[in-house]
Amino acid sequence: MSARRLSIPMIQHEVARAFGIDPVMMTSAQRGKLLARPRQIAMWIVGEVMPQLSLPRIGRAFGGRDHSTVLHAQRKITAMRADDPGFATLVDDLLLAIVGVAVESPGADTLEAERMAISLSEAFTAAALRLARSDPEAAFRVFAPLARELLSPLQPEEAAPCRIV
């Protein structure tokens, strides 16, 4: 991915590229599953990394869709992520790659990057808690390697206590 500022068109382009579809299809009227799911994922990512945008604003950017369509997409992707760890990994990897593009962008505004980090942190925390409550064993399998990776560079006084299996 090339370094660019975070925007709805950039997110649409990166999601379309990840799914091998033409970015123009993100705003098309077509509703087939092969197009709808990437579009829903893109709407979810926009909502996660740009929480200041209203649902109507996001809908307009996706071909004039209604706010209820955006809300449905965001709820659908949230539910699918909770139900399918493989899907959650795919979406999270894409989200992290998109955020990485914006953060690495030479002109990225520090405040915007910090807001994105906070939004991502809040979304990750909510997803992690849902998984921990619904399937504690799966949560340990998923989060233990991540915890090892994230906490290993920290000094002991910086590391929060956690159980790593």
- Do 123 and 159 share a structural domain? no
User: In the chain, what percentage of residues exceed pLDDT 90?
Assistant: 42
- Do 85 and 13 share a structural domain? yes
Query: What average pLDDT does the structure give for the chain?
Result: 81
CB burial class (10 A; 0-12, 13-18, 19+) of residue 83? exposed
Which contiguous run of DSSP H or E holds residue 7?
Answer: none
3 found inside a domain: no
Question: What integer pLDDT is reported at residue 119 of this predicted model?
Answer: 72
- Do 73 and 142 share a structural domain? no
pLDDT of 161 > 60? The answer is no
User: In the chain, what percentage of residues exceed pLDDT 70?
Assistant: 78
27 found inside a domain: yes
Question: What integer pLDDT is reported at residue 1 of this predicted model?
Answer: 41
- Do 140 and 129 share a structural domain? no
Pairwise CA distance, residues 129 & 123, whole Å: 10
pTM of this structure: 0.64
pLDDT of 75 > 90? The answer is yes
- Do 141 and 125 share a structural domain? no
Give me the number of domains the chain comprises: 2
- Do 91 and 33 share a structural domain? yes
Q: Is the alpha carbon torsion for 156, 162, 163, 165 positive or negative?
A: negative
42 found inside a domain: yes
| 110 vs 65: which has the higher pLDDT | 65
103 found inside a domain: yes
- Do 163 and 130 share a structural domain? no
CATH of the domain at 75: 1.10.1750.10
CB atoms within 10 A of CB 10: 18
- Do 149 and 73 share a structural domain? no
- For residue 150, the enclosing domain spans 136-165
- Do 50 and 26 share a structural domain? yes
pLDDT of 122 > 70? The answer is yes
108 found inside a domain: yes
Average pLDDT (57-68) is 95
